Structure 1
Amino acid sequence: MPDPRDLHDVFAAALCAHDSRRLLGCFHPGAVVVTPVGIVEGHEQIEWYFGQFFSIVPDLTTEVTTMLVHGDSIAVEWVTSGSQAGGMPLPDGTEIPGTGHHVRWTGCGMWTVEDDRFVTGRIYYDQLGAYMSLGCRLVRTEPGSAAAPVHMVVPDREAGPAPAAGSPDQEARAETGSGSIRRLLRRLSGR
């Protein structure tokens, strides 16, 4: 059995090159990937999912920071960044128009390989960190109540500065989270 690292290296290179054909070649035709936006199945939906990132962040790059292989499974931690040029849909149906803001988020993927291609995958990433780096912020809908619902405010929709992307405090929190993921991955691999 080939090393799943080799397959992931091809996948990561295709992702950074925005090469949909080569990216799809890394997936079994019936592959199922669980993502923060839902489940995508098969080449057509997988191409749509990654295509969204290509159109929203056309200079998207991904750096793998941790990779662990166990049999036919691979766990990968990564940092993705770029500039938001295209409209980014939000869960409530609104859209953040292209801002040109630098966006950066960390994430983790868990993949199972069969016949030299991914057959299943799970992608987890810091959605709130990505939204905040675009200038979004969370606000309570009923000020003064600890149990009040919170909603996301899109840039330019309400007054007030948003947290600066890449601030030392934000990066320190990200590094702490990154260390937690590394510890979890080491524990899962028995190291």
Structure 2
Amino acid sequence: MQDSTITVQGRVASVPEMKVSKNNNPFASFRVASTPRRQVSGAPGTYEDGETSWFTVFAWGNLGANVLRSIEKGQPVVVHGRLSAREFKRDDGSLGTSVSIVANGVGHDLTWGQTVYEKVSKPSYGSGDKHDEALRTIQAESEGYGDPQRDEYLLAERPGERRAEGAGDEGGEAVTGPLVEEPAA
């Protein structure tokens, strides 16, 4: 089987969240919105926005831990990874399409600003920030991978507080079938 890879430039459209599969495999998840900007034909210097594409991004292990510490809603990012698309059935019976990326790399888009790189061998804890427990869980459990689309998972809203979520929950929509395959170890 050949994988389809993609690189997307866009803005982080949701707060990155740490989730844990029912097999205790942690991952970070967030949405990216990518809107192309095109020059208007016959009007030099005039531009218009194209149609926005939406992607759900999954980042595993240390990448997920670093995403939680580095990426915030609204920031411009570049995401590279394996592309997956699938149809799902909404509660009203209509069909929708969900597109996701299992990330190999995530970073700030330096076209729009500067960032400071800090190398870490393991995520550090004790800073008291909102992601300490999530990062501790990711480091402790980052050996294997689950599947965020097929596995039930827990959402760590705040350190020490979790609420159950359904497999591949699309904001209350009934989801059928797998979205992404388990990443190769």
TM-score (normalizing by structure 1) = 0.24
TM-score (structure 2 length as normaliser) = 0.24
Greater share of residues in helix = 1
Task: Pick 1 or 2: higher relative contact order, CA cutoff 8 A, min separation 6.
Answer: 2
